Amino acid sequence: MANKEAIVEETDRRVYRHKRRVRNQVICYIVLALVLVGLIVGSIIGIRKIMSVISDKKHAQELQKQLEELSEQEEEAQPVVEGPSEVSEPPQETATNYLDEIVNSCISEMPLEDKVAGLFIITPEALTGTDIVVRAGDTTREKLGEHAVGGLVYFSQNIKDSAQLTEMLQNTQSWRKYPVFLAVDEEGGKVSRVAESGLADNVGSMGDIGSGGDAAAAREAGAAIGNYLSGYGFNLDFAPVADVIAEGNTTIGDRSFGTDPNLVAPMVSAMIEGIQSTKVSACMKHFPGIGDTTEDSHDGMAVTQKTLEEFSATDFPVYQAGIAAGVDLIMVSHISVPNVTGDNTPSSLSGQMVNDILRGQLGYQGIVVTDAMNMGAITEYYTADEAAVKALQAGVDMILMPEDFGIAYSGVLDAVNNGTLTEERINESLQRIYRIKYKDKVEE
């Protein structure tokens, strides 16, 4: 009996253990199934999430593209209006202010003696006191230290060969205290100091170029002249001639582009642009116009009977075109215009011609330089110092080749010291001069 009960108990225990194993297995299967289901569900959700992100990103890119296109359309359709705090200074105004700072800083540090010397353009012979200058040596260095002239003008006698000319101008530039004009008359045709000396090809006379009627040819001629002048070291060309000549005039002749202001004006402005494209300053001449005179200022008084109305119809349109082209200098002639000024005062010494008409009526703000002051039209009636002072009083900025530089220089210096001229008046001219001499600093 006891054995039977023991067998039954053992059997029950085995059955119980079997059921427990089965239950545990079922639980494991259920857990495994749940894990698998979780993994499957999670994978599905993850894939959907990834697809959603990709879709959202693509949609966002499309939306951003649409917004950018819309913004561009709005900018094209409407001008941008900025508040006062966002208004920027115009580039040209900024450049002008910067240039004026440079100019005023230079002038403020100059002694009066240097200021006055800076108003003169003279020959190297007048500077050094020698007969003919073909090199810049110790004497040039010494004299430039004593008189810081505003410029030197060279002629055929100063030009021998390429190496000599280049060295002379380079040495002169290296010894100057302030920027200096190194000038020459290079019009093309018969007035071409460098080409006459065989150092460049002559571009031909303005008359020949004008007869072709193509302003582009005048621009090319100006650029050609400017390029070879710049190559040798010149930075100022007393050209082009802006005179409108009368039929049969031989005083100016083929130095002029022609007889029609409608032809001469675009030719002159084109040549100015050509010259100044090479960093060489152009100087149009001879204001107010000497194309109808048969007299030569070199020999004595030259007079025209033109009225202001006649000048306005024939000559002034050419100057207006040159001014619009940005010409750096304008040369005023010694011609007398009694029907405009009421007397025979040379235009170069006339406040009415320089201040009232050239600056006032025509609006020119650049450098005004006299024609050579050693001409008979000046020397027969005025001393060197008297002429220089009168020219400055008339509004001229630079005195070209006075009959006697020492006397003219001392006369202007005395005029400032005794109050005939003010230092402020001298500074006005220096500001115009140095705006041209320093303009490349702003352009750079």
Q: What is the pLDDT of residues 211-259, one digit of tens each?
A: 999 999 999 999 999 999 999 999 999 999 999 999 888 889 999 999 9
Residues 214 and 342 in one domain: yes
Kindly indicate the confidence band of residue 158, based on its pLDDT and cuts at 50, 70 and 90. very high
User: Would you say residue 181 has pLDDT above 50?
Assistant: yes
31-45, 220-234, 391-405, range with the lowest pLDDT:
31-45
Residues 31 and 123 in one domain: no
Instruction: Give a yes or no: residue 421 inside a domain.
Output: yes
* Highest mean pLDDT of the ranges 96-105, 187-196, 292-301: 187-196
- Using CA atoms, how far apart are residues 317 and 265, in angstroms rounded to an integer? 7
What pLDDT was estimated at residue 64?
47
% of the chain surpassing 90 pLDDT: 73
- Mean pLDDT on 305-332: 98
Residues 47 and 174 in one domain: no
What pLDDT was estimated at residue 59?
43
30-34, 204-208, 347-351, 424-428, range with the lowest pLDDT:
30-34
Instruction: Give a yes or no: residue 42 inside a domain.
Output: yes
Q: To the nearest 10°, the Cα dihedral for 195, 199, 202, 205?
A: -10
Residues 36 and 123 in one domain: no
Q: What is the mean pLDDT of the chain?
A: 87
Residues 187 and 312 in one domain: yes
Instruction: Give a yes or no: residue 3 inside a domain.
Output: yes
Residues 211 and 335 in one domain: yes
384 and 411 Cβ atoms separated by less than 8 Å: yes
Instruction: Give a yes or no: residue 406 inside a domain.
Output: yes
Residues 43 and 135 in one domain: no
Instruction: Give a yes or no: residue 87 inside a domain.
Output: no
User: Would you say residue 444 has pLDDT above 80?
Assistant: no
Query: Which residue, among 231, 156, 234, has the nearest Cα to 194 in the 3D structure?
Result: 156
Kindly indicate the confidence band of residue 296, based on its pLDDT and cuts at 50, 70 and 90. confident
Residues 5 and 59 in one domain: yes
Amino acid at 111: P
Residues 250 and 383 in one domain: yes
Tell me the per-residue pLDDT of 56-88, one tens digit each, with 9 for 90 and over. Answer: 444 445 534 544 454 444 444 444 434 444 445
CATH of the domain at 164: 3.20.20.300
Residues 38 and 141 in one domain: no
Instruction: Give a yes or no: residue 80 inside a domain.
Output: no
Tell me which of 70, 88, 105 is where a domain ends. Answer: 70
29-38, 118-127, 291-300, range with the lowest pLDDT:
29-38
Residues 60 and 120 in one domain: no
Tell me which of 51, 70, 89 is where a domain ends. Answer: 70
Instruction: Give a yes or no: residue 88 inside a domain.
Output: no
- Mean pLDDT on 352-358: 99
Lookup result for tokens 């002749």:
253
- Mean pLDDT on 407-419: 99
% of the chain surpassing 70 pLDDT: 78
Tell me the per-residue pLDDT of 6-35, one tens digit each, with 9 for 90 and over. Answer: 433 444 454 455 555 556 665 655 655 565
> How many structural domains comprise the chain?
2
User: Would you say residue 421 has pLDDT above 90?
Assistant: yes
Residues 12 and 117 in one domain: no
What pLDDT was estimated at residue 94?
77
What pLDDT was estimated at residue 298?
87
- Using CA atoms, how far apart are residues 347 and 297, in angstroms rounded to an integer? 11
Q: To the nearest 10°, the Cα dihedral for 368, 374, 376, 381?
A: 80
Instruction: Give a yes or no: residue 382 inside a domain.
Output: yes
- Bigger pLDDT: 25 vs 182: 182
Domain span at 65: 1-70
SS (H, E, C) the chain: CHHHHHHHHHHHHHHHHHHHHHHHHHHHHHHHHHHHHHHHHHHHHHHHHHHHHHHHHHHHHHHHHHHHHHHHHHHHHCCCCCCHHHCCCCHHHHHHHHHHHHHHHHHHCCCHHHHHHCCEEECHHHHHCCCCCCCCCHHHHHHHHHCCCCEEEECHHHCCCHHHHHHHHHHHHHHCCCCCEEEECEEECCEEHHHHCCCCCCCCCHHHHHHHCCHHHHHHHHHHHHHHHHHHCCCEECCCECCCCCCCCCCCHHHCCCCCHHHHHHHHHHHHHHHHCCCCEEEEEEECCCCCCCCCCCCCCCECCCCHHHHHHHCHHHHHHHHHCCCCEEEECCCECHHHHCCCCEHHHCHHHHHHHHHHHCCCCCEEEECCCCCHHHHCCCCHHHHHHHHHHHCCCEEECCCCHHHHHHHHHHHHHCCCCCHHHHHHHHHHHHHHHCHHHHHC
What pLDDT was estimated at residue 6?
43
Tell me which of 70, 96, 126 is where a domain ends. Answer: 70
